[in-house]
Structure 1
Amino acid sequence: MLISLTIAVDALRSIVPCSFLSISMVPFASCSILIGGISWIVPSHVAQRLDNILYKSYMRLCLFVFENLSGVEIFLHGDAKIVEKRGDPENVLMVSNHQSNVDWIIPVMLAARHGAGGNEQAFRVMVKQSIHLVPMFGWYIFQHGYIYVRRFGEFIGAPVLRQLKWLDESIPPYWLLIFPEGTRFSAKKKKLLENSNRFLEDNGRPSMRNVLCPRSGGLQLALDNLSTLDAIYNVTVMYGQTRMSGRRGLAPGMFDFCCGPQTFKQLHIRLERIPIEKVPREKAVLRSWTIDKFAEKERIIDEFHCSENPSSGSVALQCIPLSQTLPSTLFFSAALVAPFFIPTIRRIYLLTVASSPLLIAWLHIRKCV
């Protein structure tokens, strides 16, 4: 009985924090809808600043789960100046390999250490169009400047161009994350890897086993339509769990990342800052340049797996202090407890959840996706 209880409690270690992030979207969306209503009667920059405060608060809740609770060790390779920068943050495109549903938190970790007071509110992602169907979350991220792109079917450029224009003219800096591979890499996706390597070989390129052949379409759109860019941050992400026996090419998911074996719970991030004036703009040249960058990632990941001490020569990043993440965590905890005691808040939350189909419909009516 005691052993069964211990196993059950251990399982909850992963379920509770990840569920906490998901359920917190209800008060988060409720606050966002309120800010949206206020935006009709206050200047747009005021509403935008309120939204940034809300968004940054939620990002710090995520950092509490993925850093403070998980106990992950973070090692930074390459250009450490990115996280040491103080003063005004940069406007950047982040180009990263993609292998896990945890990948999105890495730029948030970096943004929290960039600029005076952190820069989490600047984080956006170019995401697949199907995510707009996620209740509340899909609607909100479009309001904050995320960009929906279609992986299949006819490309519809108008909503993408509108979002890029909005980012280019927005008040705060932006960090736009792009995954050029288009989908998550996994050693289990053998057919996908075969197709990727066939394309590389047909174009006189060596095959890869750690990343997929990248596409440059999203990067091209961003470069052509963001005039305020300062740099590209080339990010290569490597998870310590993939060094476990039989785990190469199988990155951890959210549960595994938060609650996997502590001895392998390491995150290695290779950073390269590329000034925007050094990035090619011509279509064919940019495509070749992007593949070259992923060939470098292939080599870096190979070295990571072959090294006896992969943290050698890196900078160990200290965990984000609780003084920065705990206030947001307590706020969302209180927001989740409040409806049990305050009927008005309970009704607001129920209306927010019930409005999810209308919010998705709004995205289609406004031709946002």
Structure 2
Amino acid sequence: MNNEIRLNEGLAPVAFLYGIGVGFRNLLFNWGILTSKSYPIPLICVGNLTVGGTGKTPHVEYLIRLLKKSYRVAVLSRGYKRKSKGFILAGEGSRYPDLGDEPFQIWQKFPDILVAVDANRRRGIERLLALPEERRPQVILLDDAFQHRYVSPSLNIVLTDYHRLYYEDRLFPVGLLREPASSIRRTDIVVVTKCEKDLKPIEYRIIEKNMALFAHQQLFFSRIAYKKLQPVFPDECVPRKQAAIQKEESVLLVSGIANPLPLVAEVKKRARKVKVMNFADHHSFDKRDIEKIIQAYDAMGSSNKILLVTEKDAARLKENKYLPEKYRRVLYYLPITIDFHLDRTSDFDMAILRHVQSFPEKQSEV
């Protein structure tokens, strides 16, 4: 059903010691020696059990679209690989080095919500709740905070990649698990992400059986949906007749994400000639990287070609000083969103909305 998961069995002793440390830390929280703090507003955590690559950002963006029509929404992230320290609230003049690429991407797409970063989630929440009442959030989305147990979310959503399901994985560094698979018991909703479009009914049943979730836990399946091609620099791009990749186009696909394989497969469906350049997740493109990209692009013989990046990489490249104007004109990205399998979009939406609605209307008394 799934691709075979690569495991580093030779590092089993290290994973054993790591597991002891993680398990002891969780016990300290379970026993109340280390304390989790709750807050009087909906705190919805979107996290995972593994090290990156499960699709948190598009799921956070889905929740933003669902909630911002009726509530003042804030997203609080650690701001991975940002250059700043402490609490930062996105605003005019914010740059991706201040926020990190994913929070910066979210803030650019949703300037009407609050986006903040702080490695100390308690402090971040309290700074958001200290804002004037007219700006104070009514719902806070915690990005990648499942392991940050000093905060007690009111709703936990855990994502697991269909191609690397958590119950088939092992603790880091043998596998990619941050904590034991048994930690799934702390969540309220599990979403199997990046599913194939044509999953068979038996595959749903096998996954559900293997997870053996509690009665109160809900299980959903989602897949990536690719939207229309977008220019990274709209004011400079070459006008296109079609907002889609054409079969006759040559594409240089550059990615700096944890798992580019679904995107590569999608682009190869659309274009006959695709060259791929992969970089590490959250990669910051320096002068040498840009020179390599330009060299690879120029080496593609066709005059009908584009330079394609991921949406996350587009956020970083917008401020890249090494990218010449000539290449900015042909630089595009494919926005992504998610769809739920089994016609369960309304079920997922209702689960989220009911949870938020279960809190008192007056959430300003904090």
Please confirm whether the aligned pair reaches a TM-score higher than 0.5, indicating the same fold.
Answer: no
- Work out which structure has the larger RCO, using CA pairs closer than 8 Å and 6 or more positions apart in sequence: 1
Q: Give the TM-score taking structure 1 as reference length.
A: 0.29
